[in-house]
Amino acid sequence: MKHIVKQSVNLGYTLIAALCLVMLCTSCSDTNQHHDLKKYAKNIKNRQAKALLPLPAIIPPKRYAYPKTAMRNPFKPLATEAPTDGPDQKREKEPLEGFPLDSLRMVGLLQRDKTIWAVIQGPNGDVFRATVGNYLGQHHGKIVSIEKNEVQLEEMVKLDQKWEKRPATLALINDGDK
């Protein structure tokens, strides 16, 4: 019985394959079927090409000479008052000075009486607290003020053989900002 069922299944597959082959051969045999399409394509190819409009003339931008004395150089970092000498190199480094400023994150605030601490997370996940006067970052950044959403600090960087102060900010990171 199994033998008869197997033969009928094979016969069914053979008939389906033969039917598909016949349909494929007969569908492609009519050569006049696409006559109108071939005529349209021939007409398009025989048309004269339209002349292209010339490209508009390129007008070079006007040159601007930046006055050296009137304004500050826009390519130099903004610096506040230039200190006469650099940071105190004898001062003992604080733990947050071992990390670049952009790797530190302000994650909260603590307050007791009138003292406010910023809660700072280091790149390794350790949490520190810092208050006004503490240092953080690798550019001698001294905390100037602690606000509700940010810590403002003043970094000291050496530019053109002299030390300059520049402002920096460490903003509070919310859970949605991670």
Domain ranges of the chain: 96-177
Strands 141-146 and 150-159 turn out to be: antiparallel
Measured distance CA(124)–CA(143) in Å, rounded: 21
Q: What was the pLDDT predicted at 167?
A: 92
Answer whether residue 81 shows pLDDT above 60: no
- The arrangement of strands across the sheet holding 135-136 comes to 135-136, 141-146, 150-159, 162-171
Dump pLDDT digits (tens) for 104-117.
999 999 999 988 99
Measured from the Cβ of residue 60, the count of other Cβ atoms closer than 10 Å reads: 5
Answer whether residue 77 shows pLDDT above 60: yes
Per-residue tokens: 146: 């602690």
Mean pLDDT value of segment 151-171: 88
Measured distance CA(55)–CA(91) in Å, rounded: 66
The torsion angles phi and psi of 72, rounded to 5 degrees, stand at -75, 155
- Strand spans (E) along the chain: 105-112, 115-121, 127-130, 135-136, 141-146, 150-159, 162-171
For residue 49, the Cα-to-chain-centroid distance in whole angstroms is 45
CATH 3.40.50.300 at 96-177, yes or no: no
